Amino acid sequence: MKKLIIGITGSIAAFKTVQFISDLVKEKYEIEVMLTPSAAKFVTPTSISALTKKKTYIDVFDDDPGCITHVDIVKDADLFMIVPASATTIAKCANGIADNMLTAAFLAATCPKLIAPAMNVHMFENKATQRNIQTLKDDGVLFVEPAVGLLACGDTGKGKLADYDHLHLMMEYALSDHPLQGKKVLVTAGPTQESLDPVRFLTNHSSGKMGYSIARAAFILGATVRLIHGPTSLKPVPYIINQSITSTQDLFECVKRHHTHYDYIIMSAAVADYTPVKTSTEKIKKNDNELILKLKKNPDILDYIGHHQVEHQVICGFAMETQDLIENASKKLNKKQCDLIIANHLKTEGAGFQGDTNVVTIITQDSMKDIDKMSKSDLSYIILKECMKIGAKK
C-alpha cells in the first residue's frame, strides 16, 4: 500500500482536497494529512480524520508519543503532496522555512514531492511566486499547473486548483519510477466512422477505454505519448497529445505521418475493414425494400506499419475474433509483422468492448500468456511491460 502525505494550506480550494482524500481512501492509499493553521479555517481536522481514521496534524509540536512526528511520519512516505498550495506555503518550502507541521515535514521528507498551487491570478503570476516555484522545480519538486478560470475572488485567470483528472494523473506519475522515460509511445483507440451519407455512418462498439488506459499508463511510466482516437465520449488524457480522427483513411494518414518517430506503437483502435465505395452527398432516400451497399477494402494500417517498422521499434496489435481466436490472432501477428498481439476473448464475460475490464491472451513470436479478467487499467501496465521486455532485446 502506497503511503501519501497530503498537506492542505489556506485556500478556498481546500474543500476540494477533502473530496480528493475521500476518493484516495477508497483507492486504498495510506494517507496522513497535515493542515497549516490557515487551512484549518477552511476545513476542519474533524472532517478529515473522519475519512482517514487518523489524527490530522496542524502544530509542529503536536507530536505523537515517543516520536518526533514531522520527521518520523515522512520516513516511509512514497509521496508528499501539497493540495492546494498557497503562495505563502510555496514561499516557505522554497526557502526551507519550517514553522508549522506541514512545512517542517516537507523539509524533512526525502520522498518525491508534488505541489498543486491555488491562489489569485496576480499572486500566482507575481515574480516572487514564480521565482519560488522555479526554485522548487530546480530542486526536483513536481507541480500540477493551476487551471485558468473564474476565481473565488472574482478575478479571471490562472490560479484555480487543477481538476481531479490532472491531480490524480500527476500523483500517479509522481509515484512511478518512469521505466519509459525518454521513450515515445503512439496509441490508437476507439472506433472509426465510415460515412454513407451526410447523416449515417458504419462503425463499431469500441468505446476507446482500452486505448485511453494504455495511453494513460504509458504517460505514468514516463513516456511522451500521442493518442490518436476515433469518436469517443471519453475526456482527453491530460499531459499527452490527444489527436482525433474520424475515418480509417484519416487514421491511416495520421499514423503514416507519425509512426517512424515512435519507439512503441500500440494499435488498440477498432478499425473498419471496409468503407463505402461512394459517400452520397445527399441523404440516401428510403425507396426500395432492400438497400445494397457497395463497400471497398480500407488500408490495413497495422500491416503497413509492420512492413515499415523502423529499427528498435516495438509494434503491438490487437485481435478481435469470434472464432478460432488464438489461431487467427497468431496468423495476424505473422502476417502484419508485429512483435506482439493482444487477443481479446470476446465471448468471455468481462472482455472486449465498452466495459472497464478485459480478458486477453498476449501472443509474441515465442510465448503465449493468458491474462484473466482484470481492469483495462491494470491490463495496460501488463501490455506495456511486455512491450518493454521486447524493446529491451531490440
Contact residues for ligand PMT (CB under 6 A)? Answer: 190, 206-210, 248, 267-271, 273, 298, 300-302, 317-320, 332, 344, 352-354
Q: Which is nearer to ligand PMT, 220 or 315 (CB)?
A: 315
The response to whether 332 counts as a known ligand-binding position is yes
16 contacts 84 by C-beta, under 8 angstroms: yes
Whole-number minimum distance, CB 388 to ligand PMT, in Å? 19
In the complex, least distance from residue 325 CB atom to ligand PMT, rounded to whole angstroms: 10
Burial profile 155-194: b = 16 or more Cβ within 10 angstroms, e = fewer: eeebbbbbeeebbbbbbbbbbbeeebeebbbbbbbbbbbb
Choose between 241 and 351: whose C-beta lies nearer to ligand PMT: 351
Q: Is residue 299 annotated as involved in ligand binding?
A: yes
* Helix ranges (DSSP H) in the chain: 14-26, 45-52, 69-72, 87-94, 101-108, 121-125, 127-138, 164-175, 209-220, 248-258, 301-307, 325-335, 376-393
Residue 185: CB minimum distance to ligand PMT, A: 15
Query: Is 78 one of the annotated binding-site residues?
Result: no
Given the residues 111, 153, 254, 387, the one annotated as active site:
153
d(CA 300, CA 52): 52
- Catalytic status, residue 153: yes
Q: Min. distance of Cβ 242 from ligand PMT in angstroms? A: 15
Residue with cell 519550517: 98
Is 300 annotated as a binding-site member?
yes
User: Closest Cα to residue 242, out of 146, 165, 133?
Assistant: 165
From the list 8, 5, 13, 7, the residue with the least C-alpha distance to 146 is 13
Beta carbon nearer to ligand PMT, 105 or 218:
218
165 is in an annotated binding site: no
Name the residue nearer to ligand PMT (CB basis): 157 or 355. Answer: 355
**Which residues carry a binding-site annotation for CTP?**
273, 283, 299-302, 318, 332, 336
Active site residues: 153
**Which residues carry a binding-site annotation?**
273, 283, 299-302, 318, 332, 336
